[in-house]
Homo-oligomer: A and B are copies of this chain.
Amino acid sequence: MISVAVLGAAGRMGTHVVNAVSGAEGLEVVAALDHGDDIAEAARAGATVAVDFTVPDVTEANVHALIDAGIHAVVGTTGWTQEALLRVDEHLRERPELGVLIAPNFALGAVLSMRFAAAAARYFESVEVIELHHPDKVDAPSGTALHTARAIAAARAEAGVAPSPDATTHDPDGARGAVIDGVHVHAVRLRGLVAHEEILLGNPGEQLSIRTDSFDRISFMPGVLLGVREVARHPGLTVGLDGYMSL
């Protein structure tokens, strides 16, 4: 049985985490902390793993406190800078048996589709990205689509693949969308949708499409549980859930 502390337990994601961990075989919630609570309670309750879905302001301090307390950490809070990651990495050298996972995305489908897209991108002449979201979103394209396009571009550059062919000479209204590191990205906004992404790859006579649909933030839970189960087996700092997956 893995004893788990949940930080930010009263938040929207934290509530889901408490439910998911409580319902999972081999896991139990021993401390549900929120704003104002002391991290030391997690240790007193016997937690060996902590899950942090708090806010950018406090997550870094939380992780250092967890390391000091000898507790593995699974962190879904966003906003980590490169410098903050380096400070965690350094701190972990004092406790080489501890694992810390910091992941921007716990949706397994999203994590996998990004990995698959990057792996496939070098083998296809053309690749484009379409992301589709609810119409209340203020930015376009989505952060995930930007990240996907950059990963695709990096993989193609490393393999020496030519840019996707495009004979367009007349596009007065910008129908070809955004170009991110040479990869075309299209953003659809539609009432009824939540968060969706499609990566299209084309060669003469064939197409490969990888699509991920996220309907609900409950979709992060299988990834969180995977993190909780695996973190003790991965000492040191791991950034991105795919570091824990067999691909």
Contact of A210 among B110, B116, B189 (CB under 8 A): B116
Nearest Cβ on chain B to A51's Cβ, whole angstroms: 17
Indicate whether A203 sits within 8 Å of B208 (C-beta atoms), given known contacts A130-B130, A140-B175: no
Q: Which of chain A's residues 134-163 have a Cβ closer than 8 Å to chain B?
A: 135-141, 145, 159
- A167–B137 contact, CB under 8 A? yes
Does A107 make an interface contact (CB < 8 A)? yes
Chain A interface: which size bin?
35 or more
Cβ A190 vs Cβ B200 within 8 A = yes
The segment from A41-49, A65-73, A75-83, A117-125 that touches chain B is A117-125
List 25 contacting pairs A-B, 8 Å CB cutoff, sorted by A.
A109-B203, A109-B206, A112-B116, A116-B116, A119-B247, A125-B191, A126-B135, A127-B190, A130-B186, A131-B175, A136-B167, A137-B168, A139-B171, A165-B191, A176-B189, A184-B188, A184-B189, A188-B200, A191-B203, A192-B206, A192-B213, A205-B214, A206-B216, A207-B213, A208-B213
Which A residues fall within an 8 A CB radius of B?
Answer: 107-110, 112-113, 116, 119-120, 122-128, 130-132, 135-141, 145, 159, 164-171, 173-180, 184-194, 200-219, 221-222, 226, 245-247
